[in-house]
Structure formats: structure tokens, C-alpha cells
Homo-oligomer: A and B are copies of this chain.
Amino acid sequence: MSLTLYSLCGTDPNRPFSPHCWKIVMALHHKGLAFEERPLPFTEIPKAEEGFSKTVPIVRDGDRLVSDSFQIALYLEEAYPDHPSLFGGEGGKAAARLVEGYAQHIVHPVITRIAVYDIHQMLGPSDQDYFRNSREKRLGKTLEEVHAERASAIAALPAQLQPLRHMLGFQPFIGGQTPLFADYILFGALQWLRITTGSIHLPDGDPVVGWFERCLELHEGAGRQVA
């Protein structure tokens, strides 16, 4: 059975950068499933799979189509129960929703402020129009105004990651001794920052850097292959 992941790219299809798609790249490797990744520009997504979803990731697994990163993770866990678990049981599955909330509402906003202008520069002309309009509306500022405050956003990042640093005082991964989907949720956020801006903007010696490097090594260095 063939498995396809539709993800997001700018003009360079070899540099997919979406945090939500990176969660699924890691989840598919975690499950030991072979897949073909098809990165799409923003404005091509509505044309994929006859308009199945306005957003990526989308996974086609044989006849089955699934969108939304968390729904895909739940699907993979159910469809491949004999492969390594993404959640480590029902408690882990439930708690991953709070981890998703932490990533999207505490970590993503500061990453957006650091990376939004760089993301714009990676896109083709049609995507740039869509991206500028939608993001400037959401942020209430021009991309250039956000970019001008980049240094203060970078300075704000470490405090937002303090929960992760706290956890790392006790164990190497959010999943415990080995990673689970909860790790990939936050890995996706920092991988998005790394690919779009060239750095995760944290000082050497920060335990979060150590954890992120461990994640980049996972699954034969799948995360490190894109820079």
C-alpha cells in the first residue's frame, strides 16, 4: 500500500518548512512507514486531491485520505497498532492535546514574530500575495514592521520554552526515555524556525538545544537532511 504526505514548501521543494507537516514526517518515520513526500506551495494546496483540505499535512494511505496533523497521528496509531506507539497509551494521547495547545499558543506566536518575513522571502509571487494578506491581517502589522522587532522576539523565545527546559531536568524526551508524538509537536515548531531562518536562536548549552539536536538525529537524521 503506498503512502503519500502532502506538505508545504516555498519556491524550493527540497525545503518543506511547515511545523505541522514536520510532525507527520517524524510520525511516519517513527511508525516505520515508507512514504513519498510531495511539498506544495500554499496556493497549490486547494488543488491537491480534488480539494480535500485547505491545509496540509494531508496523508493518502491507499484509498484513505486524512488531514490535520493530530488527526493523522491518531489515524496512524489506530491503523498501525503493531508499529511503535506515537502516544505511549491513552494518558499520553490525551496529554498530547495540551502539548499541542502549548506549542501553538505559547511557542508559535513568538516563532511567527521571528520568522514571518523570512517565510515570505521563501515563497513564489502568488504565495507571497496570499501570505502577506493573511498574515498582516492576523498580526495587525506589516511584515516589515514585524521584522523590525525581530530582536525582541528572539529575546522572548527562551522564556516561552522554559516548560520544555523544566521537563529536560528529569528526562531526555517529552515521551520519557524515548520520543513520542508530543516531542514531534514541539520539534516541528523549532524545525520550522530552523529551516526558515537558519537557526533556532538559542544559546549553546541550553538544554533545549540538546533536545533539538537529539530530535534531528532521530530516524537516520530525517530532520537534519533539510536545512
Contact = CB atoms under 8 A, between A and B. Distances in A.
A96 interface: yes
Contacts of A95: 91-92, 95-96, 98-99, 174-175, 180, 182
A46 interface: no
A32 interface: no
A141 interface: no
A86 to B, nearest CB: 9
Interface in A65-103: 85, 87-102
Contacts of A97: 166-167, 170-171, 174
A105 interface: yes
Question: Dominant SS at the A interface?
Answer: helix
Interface of A: 85, 87-102, 104-106, 159-160, 162-167, 170-171, 173-176, 180, 182
6 contacts: A91-B180, A95-B175, A97-B166, A97-B167, A98-B174, A100-B166
